[in-house]
Amino acid sequence: MKKKIVSFQGIDGAYSDLVCRKFYQTYKTLPCETFQKTLDAVSKGVANLALIPVENNIAGRVADMHLLLEKIELKVVAEHYHKVEHHLMSKKDVPLKNINKVYSHTHALSQCRANIEKLKLEPVNYIDTAGAAKFVRDSQDSDISAIASMLASEIYELRILKKNLQDRKDNITRFLVFSKSSPKINMDRKVITSIVFNTKNIPASLYKALGGFAENNINLTRLESFFVNKDFKQFSFIIDVESHPDNGSFKKALKVLKSFSSKFRILGFYEASKFRK
């Protein structure tokens, strides 16, 4: 039987790779250069699923994903929350006292800023965390280190100098999973439905568009806006609501949303993560 594949953005050892291996243990992971290529892998049938980070409770939403969500033809089929643990690592024969520089993605560096300063290290931006780990392994320099995942340290055979270097311990990233088709989920499950829409150019259109959810006692857990053109004149909204799309109350609320929207689309529905509890 052919092994299923889940794609992610980054190289082996990236945090997305770690999350893929955590939640899809029977799948083979497929590293991709960009978010678009990660999603394209599913569209083209190369992968069964694509896992993408969309927001972090410290760094905020992930850049570029909102524009992709508005255009995407795939369906959101799952959500996962993962506690990010940043580790300081170097070549196995290099002690911490000899380290002067630390390489990592800008978000990882900012999330470890206080501890980096305590260790008197010079932070250096790198394209991603796993790439930084690979760079340290391949470099001829002996005074450099990387901040990356435990998985990256194992793959690139680096020694962990300091575990959990992040300044805050509640560093959580939310990931969405994409597929060509939506799953079948029983109505008695707690379900999240994600929707993207543009409001009509009339007064209080957003207020009126969302009013149907309040009237039908449906909870919104997420509301975000983002510009969809370069002149900042048009923007879209993404909402997550706690309801199965086949629920009668949801259909009534959606009817109201439609009447005040110039366009809308259901991105997908999926079982709510246990993390929400």
Active-site positions?
173, 175
Q: Reduce the DSSP state of residue 258 to 3 states and report it.
A: helix
Q: Which residues of 111-131 are buried (b: 16+ CB within 10 A; e: fewer)?
A: bbeebbeebebebeebebbbb
3-class DSSP state of 234: coil
Residue 41 CB burial class (10 angstroms; 0-12, 13-18, ≥19) = buried
Q: What is the DSSP letter of 91?
A: -
Exposed, middle or buried: residue 201 (CB in 10 Å: 0-12, 13-18, 19+)? Answer: exposed
Q: CA 47, CA 29: separation in Å to the nearest integer?
A: 9
H or E segment and range at residue 137: helix 129-138
Q: Alpha carbon 202 to chain centroid distance?
A: 33
The residues that bridge with 8 in the sheet, in sequence order, are: 31, 51
By DSSP bridging, strand 101-104 and strand 144-148 are parallel
Beta bridge partners, 7, equal 30, 50
Interatomic CA distance for residues 153 and 151, integer angstroms: 5
